[in-house]
Structure 1
């Protein structure tokens, strides 16, 4: 999760007015695929068990909110255009903020502005 510390600060600051959830999707920068130098060592997921195991590495970083895992058909990532990552704010079941695709469009600061307006 890009900018995890900024995300965790959002959870701390707005956890009383918003519910946060991380959906672990396909590994965008898998070691056996298109990887960055100094990236975590995670291969492309070939089974749900491998994806669950990879998600545990994120959980160890204590994101301060629940972490769920996308299905192997990547239905959530596909519907939300979330690969490699993306932030959303929903209210009443409707999307009120759709961030840009990460890593460059991933902006916890934009989410902060949206949540500040809701308080």
Structure 2
């Protein structure tokens, strides 16, 4: 659904993904169908994991959080969260995922904005 929103609103908004600490590392709280990604111990490992994400045809730039998790701390973005930033101001902050992850709210906001 997020890829579709990115496509539908490409003329209205710039999209980015910020890759943060791995939520389900194989050496931590792993899930059975996850990719084989260990918890990052260096920026190089985090960058390599983000490159694996890029292989899933993500239609926008992928930014990578620092090893001190500055983006997670600033935006409470763990495990996932959606934001809309307009002119440097956060105008939409979704609830933390997975339960609060609602891409349709982003679609609704962008439709009203571009209306």
- List 4+ stretches of structure 1 deviating above 4 A: none
Q: Which structure 2 residue ranges, 5 or more long, are not aligned?
A: none
The corresponding residue for 2:22 is 27
Corresponding residue pairs, total: 114
Q: Structure 1, residues 49-84: CA drift from partner, whole Å, max 9, x if none? A: 000000011100111000011110000111000011
d(CA) in 2 for partners of 1:108, 1:82: 15
- Which residue in 2 is equivalent to 1:44? 39
Unaligned runs of 5+ in 1: 1-5
How far apart are the structure 2 equivalents of 1:82 and 1:35?
19
Q: How does 1:46-85 map to 2 (within 5 A)?
A: 46-85=41-80
2:97 aligns with 102
Distance 1:100 1:34 in 2: 22
What TM-score do you get using the length of structure 1 for normalisation? 0.93
Question: Structure 2 residue aligned with 1:93, among 88, 105, 111?
Answer: 88
- Name the CA distance, whole Å, in 2 between partners of 1:116 and 1:80: 24
TM-score normalised to structure 2 length = 0.96
CA distance in 2, matches of 1:12, 1:115: 12
